[in-house]
């Protein structure tokens, strides 16, 4: 079953320049999942153009168009990464006839292959069910290399909901990871909104020994406390997987998501987190999820997603 679409150069356009000054001039489009096998460190970009998980979780549809929208805004950004760092776009994974599980397995395998071939994976979503597949690949790689992996999720939701009819969805990725890897599940959620998470999910978080900072505490005014909690988590692990759910941002900044909220955090706070994680030199993988272009306004959410990717990579490799 072919679940892959080749990348399109049409997604990488922008201002013309004689020298390579913008992302669209630097990213290499590589078809047929032909991963660069050199020993050099590089970035591998893949999209998850799927929303079956959102459908199962009763979210509003449109996230399948997210990866292309993010690429188009990334392409216009000025490029400030090291010239020695190669960036490859390897295309998109999608879902056929509601078979989310096959897509998840393919994403897990590809993530592992990217890490094994010295890539820094960047997944663009797409529903947050991506985190189960992405996280499974990162966990496999970390375990093989004797590293304790920490998962940090910027999100309004725990995403620790149980399966529905035995199937995963966009609200269950970290429950699935915890179930499949009970001894290797180390999780910190930032920006949790109590109005968006019933008491049962707080109980699940406690049972799984998941750490979190709720929205009332996750503020710039409280940064010294938040920083201490993040740093304590980072100090206990050897590697980090960062997942950014755009619905954690206030809808003033991110209207184009599956589950918008006016009470989310601001970009300035997310940048503080990105700085801290990049400074740890433990970050090995990233995804940005839940962009829904159908509901976006003036591409504000797509721009935010692109800037998150650019900032994390620039701070991590700069």
Name the residue range of residue 42's domain.
4-317
Cα 138–chain centre separation: 12
The yes-or-no verdict on residue 269 having pLDDT over 60 is: yes
Q: Where are the beta strands (DSSP E) in the chain?
A: 4-5, 28-29, 42-48, 86-93, 119-125, 149-154, 187-192, 211-214, 239-245, 283-289
Q: What percent of the chain has pLDDT over 90?
A: 87
Q: Judge contact between 46 and 90, C-beta under 8 A.
A: yes
Residue 48 forms beta bridges with which residues?
93, 125
- Tell me which DSSP letter residue 31 carries: -
CATH code (residue 68) = 3.40.800.10
> What total number of domains does the chain contain?
1
pTM for this one? 0.97
Per-residue pLDDT at 53: 66
Non-local (6+) Cβ contacts of 13 within 8 A are: 24, 72, 75, 76
The yes-or-no verdict on residue 52 having pLDDT over 80 is: no
Tell me the pLDDT band of 1, cut-offs 50, 70 and 90.
low
Higher pLDDT, 166 or 220: 220
Q: What is the pLDDT of residues 67-118, one digit of tens each?
A: 999 999 999 999 999 999 999 999 999 998 888 899 999 999 999 999 999 9
Alpha-carbon distance 88 to 79, whole Å? 14
């Amino acid at each position: 079953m072919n679940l892959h679409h080749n990348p399109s150069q049409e997604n990488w356009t922008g201002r013309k320049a004689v020298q390579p000054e913008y992302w669209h001039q630097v990213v290499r489009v590589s078809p047929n999942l032909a991963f660069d096998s050199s020993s050099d460190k590089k970035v591998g970009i893949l999209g998850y153009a799927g929303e079956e998980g959102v459908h199962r979780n009763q979210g509003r549809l449109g996230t399948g168009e997210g990866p292309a929208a993010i690429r188009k805004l990334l392409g216009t950004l000025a490029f400030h990464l090291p010239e020695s760092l190669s960036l490859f776009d390897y295309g998109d994974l999608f879902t056929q006839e509601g078979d989310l599980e096959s897509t998840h397995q393919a994403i897990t395998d590809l993530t592992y292959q990217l890490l094994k071939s010295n890539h820094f994976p960047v997944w663009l979503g797409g529903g947050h069910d991506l985190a189960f597949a992405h996280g499974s690949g990162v966990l496999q790689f970390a375990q093989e290399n004797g590293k304790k992996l920490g998962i940090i999720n910027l999100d309004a939701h725990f995403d620790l909901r149980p399966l529905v009819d035995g199937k995963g969805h966009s609200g269950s990725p970290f429950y699935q990871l915890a179930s499949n890897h009970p001894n290797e599940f180390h999780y910190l959620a930032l920006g949790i909104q109590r109005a968006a998470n019933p008491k049962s999910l707080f109980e699940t978080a406690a049972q799984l020994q998941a750490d979190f900072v709720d929205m009332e505490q996750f503020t710039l005014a409280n940064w010294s406390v938040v920083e201490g909690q993040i740093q304590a988590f980072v100090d206990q692990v050897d590697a980090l997987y960062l997942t950014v759910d755009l619905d954690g941002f206030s809808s003033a900044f991110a209207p184009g998501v599956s589950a918008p909220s006016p009470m989310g955090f601001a970009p300035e706070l997310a940048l503080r987190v990105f700085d801290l994680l990049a400074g740890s030199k433990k970050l090995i993988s990233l995804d940005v999820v839940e962009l829904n272009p159908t509901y976006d306004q003036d591409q504000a959410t797509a721009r935010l997603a692109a800037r998150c990717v650019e900032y994390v990579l620039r701070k991590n490799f700069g």
